[in-house]
Structure 1
């Protein structure tokens, strides 16, 4: 960790500034409106030219904003700044032209950061391959339990622009950030930040694992109080070591084991803090019990420790950590218990859309009938199957890329019974649950943790989880 003093950016004069906004949608439209309201000369460019895009364009044009549909590749003449939707890939011709012209390229997070007022609430930032949303919500719950005015914002669905520019006053913000958003946020400087874990994901966008990790690591740049890392994931600690932070900022680890000094961890079923206490070499502060974490699966306890570390970095008392964790209810489709049918538990973790998330989900149960498959997104499954083989009672495979999982099972768990459903229709979920129920015995868990994206069969992972829950209800009726 290098040290430096970071100062706030100066207020910008937007009057007459020519800004190109790349992309309509949840970030592009608010950005265009905000900049236009500040006197900027805004042009929005968009690749698509469908009915929805034309409707959105008409809304902006009525305000006096120029919109170019079907042409997201060409940089408008006179552009002085580009503000992009986070999902636009860095190698797009528009950005190549902007870089060649010496222009800055900002994302919506960067724009929100630059538009903050002088008394703006500090940000506690969270990123990682998996667990971001749950950890951010846990953090917000803990901050609220401490009596602080806060909100869970960012990639979580609440616009950072709305949080920064709205009428509501906050003491602190819990900010979820994706690797896309961090790539386009060069001047972001959080109070404290956490990288929960790192595993291959979105490599088609970033180009390499090294580039993906580097973008995640941007969340630590300029941290003031704490860089929170995962002791079990050395890559996150490496990012802390490489970060350029403010003088006095500390590295704080979280672990499912007994914590050392400057770490949070678990001792005999108790979440404890040895980082934000007096004489951390000798003392520890009890924060909560494992039973206060919902659900108390290992990866979710890690999420709770990361949230607790950020809250403690902000000065939150131990009692608020416990109360906030007790008050927290996870979103649907995240290791959610659906029902018990004939002494078999049915658990929906449709949100486990990659191998890293599925591995954490499978580690939470001792004897599992696993429902898996979908769109693999270039993933390999050998490591996941090898690590989880001893827990598998049986496997039911669905979806377009199920053969990849079947082949990994043949190599690493050949004794495990496998039902390969040659179907990608939405009705396949009912058949999958019925097959899983036949493989399961009392005490088992039937776990939907697909390790794949859902779009080959369902609109999104929510719909996939809903189909699983409905199939379980039908099974039990």
Structure 2
């Protein structure tokens, strides 16, 4: 008979608890380390076996963790387990997780474990999900919170495990938490101070088993929200999520919009970011939170630059979450000015012979690629990779008038080629087939003569990268290096 772990928290005794951790990635390592520290007997299961995993395994074994790794390690369910903490990458149909359900063993994600271990006077969570823009938004939010003088950190799917931040000996004032649909699937008790769904488009359908299941997991972020449930006015499904959520009494629905905001929204009046949600006189007036030209000013140093619409939308969502926490208008402006985006997010690589080369390798699904393409007038589009079950018809229909030409790479390039033949048959398409090897030198060689002066060659693949690259960063780095070689030859 398994122990009842539902009531256990940071101050509880975990002696006698047998916990299994599925996967030895970033979140799995954090979960195993924390549970061992609390006194539980921990078993880690991972079929992988490489240098990085072995290094983590050695560290955990020195602490007394039972690490079982290598092929076949997840073939059987450990006996006597009271709790299973799963990797966010493990699909719900994974046999070990199905076995846990059959044995009535609770299955938590690392985020759920972190929530339960927060302790007294814990930092509130401001949570963000969406198909695209999550990382940018929580990083903007972190910058705004720090401009207010708060000890804040962006955590979760952005890189730093939530559990690591929660267990930090020096407590934070507030956490900006990025949550993927995978993480939300395994979360049952989160109660954010404020939460946001930025947008919704088909993604990870193979993992969730369908769009309805994916949507339902995204909507979990609004459950038990305390102060503000933030939705995208331009994406009605996010508003429906708020309407259907069981929130804490008194929680308000707050919209963000690229248009003029109505009462209860944050939006734009000309170039100004206007708050009609968090001021006493919001029925008849607005508070200015800054200008759209403030967004990323420190990184770009160009006050005349206007960021792409989806970047502005991310800033509006971050502003709404910060205002829900009580941040002053001045800090919103200063935080947006100080924000520096990560690499591979609409990053200008070089201009060669009057043609801009832009790296948006982070655009790993069709929705993100469409948003990226909408920021440029005439584009030679570099796309392809692993499509993850996505369709590209809507993207092509929406952007075909911008396409000068398309260069396709990767395992699922034919899916994009078919959409282009159906909806943009006059757009030139070149397929670069290098198998599983790096195609970027050939891509740049092919793309350069297709572009005209004033055009942009845009790497916005709309697909994952792992068929040809280690990750999206490696893909973007390779593209940039190939462009620099082109520039040096010119």
TM-score w.r.t. length of structure 2: 0.92
Aligned to 2:342: 331
Is the CA contact (8 Å cut-off) linking 2:128 and 2:198 kept in structure 1?
yes
1-structure distance, mates of 2:344, 2:248: 39
1-structure distance, mates of 2:204, 2:363: 15
1-structure distance, mates of 2:168, 2:10: 20
Is the CA contact (8 Å cut-off) linking 2:193 and 2:227 kept in structure 1?
yes
Cα RMSD of the aligned pairs, angstroms, is 1.9
Question: Does residue 350 in structure 1 map to residue 361 in structure 2?
Answer: yes
User: Per-residue CA shift, 1:405-461, capped at 9, x if unaligned?
Assistant: 122112211222222223346553122223222122222111111111112222111
Is the CA contact (8 Å cut-off) linking 2:292 and 2:307 kept in structure 1?
yes
2-structure distance, mates of 1:425, 1:73: 30
Aligned to 1:449: 460
2-structure distance, mates of 1:460, 1:253: 34
SS of the equivalent of 1:435 reads helix
Q: Structure 1 residues 275, 404: closer, same or farther in 2, change over 3 A?
A: same
Aligned to 2:29: 29
1-structure distance, mates of 2:11, 2:255: 35
TM-aligned CA deviation for residue 363 of structure 1? 0.6
2-structure distance, mates of 1:178, 1:124: 14
Of 255, 260, 269, which residue of structure 1 is paired with 2:257?
Answer: 255
TM-aligned CA deviation for residue 364 of structure 1? 0.6
Of 129, 132, 139, which residue of structure 2 is paired with 1:130?
Answer: 132
SS of the equivalent of 1:246 reads coil
2-structure distance, mates of 1:132, 1:104: 28
User: Per-residue CA shift, 1:338-375, capped at 9, x if unaligned?
Assistant: 12222221111011111000000001111111111222
SS of the equivalent of 1:106 reads strand
Aligned to 1:4: none
Aligned to 1:224: 226
Matches within 5 A, 1:198-237: 198-237=200-239
2-structure distance, mates of 1:404, 1:52: 34
2-structure distance, mates of 1:52, 1:9: 31
Matches within 5 A, 1:421-436: 421-424=432-435, 426-436=437-447
Matches within 5 A, 1:21-420: 21-49=21-49, 53-69=53-69, 70-294=72-296, 296-420=307-431
2-structure distance, mates of 1:173, 1:337: 30
2-structure distance, mates of 1:111, 1:384: 38
User: Per-residue CA shift, 1:390-410, capped at 9, x if unaligned?
Assistant: 111121222222222122112
User: Per-residue CA shift, 1:52-88, capped at 9, x if unaligned?
Assistant: 5455444333322223333324332221111122212
Is the CA contact (8 Å cut-off) linking 2:19 and 2:42 kept in structure 1?
yes
TM-aligned CA deviation for residue 49 of structure 1? 5.0
Of 465, 474, 480, which residue of structure 2 is paired with 1:469?
Answer: 480
Higher mean C-alpha deviation, range 124-133 or range 405-414: 405-414
Q: Structure 1 residues 53, 397: closer, same or farther in 2, change over 3 A?
A: closer
SS of the equivalent of 1:276 reads coil
Structure 1 regions of 5+ residues with no counterpart? 1-6
Q: Structure 1 residues 102, 425: closer, same or farther in 2, change over 3 A?
A: closer
User: Per-residue CA shift, 1:194-228, capped at 9, x if unaligned?
Assistant: 01111111111111111111111111111110000
TM-score w.r.t. length of structure 1: 0.94
Q: Structure 1 residues 16, 427: closer, same or farther in 2, change over 3 A?
A: closer
Moved over 6 A (4+): 7-10
Structure 2 regions of 5+ residues with no counterpart? 1-6, 297-305
Is the CA contact (8 Å cut-off) linking 2:203 and 2:389 kept in structure 1?
no
Is the CA contact (8 Å cut-off) linking 1:143 and 1:324 kept in structure 2?
yes
SS of the equivalent of 1:151 reads strand
Q: Structure 1 residues 427, 243: closer, same or farther in 2, change over 3 A?
A: closer
Q: Structure 1 residues 202, 287: closer, same or farther in 2, change over 3 A?
A: same
Q: Structure 1 residues 89, 367: closer, same or farther in 2, change over 3 A?
A: same
Higher mean C-alpha deviation, range 415-424 or range 342-351: 415-424
Is the CA contact (8 Å cut-off) linking 1:11 and 1:114 kept in structure 2?
no
2-structure distance, mates of 1:58, 1:458: 28
1-structure distance, mates of 2:189, 2:257: 30
SS of the equivalent of 1:229 reads strand
Number of residue-to-residue matches in the alignment: 471
Q: Structure 1 residues 117, 427: closer, same or farther in 2, change over 3 A?
A: closer
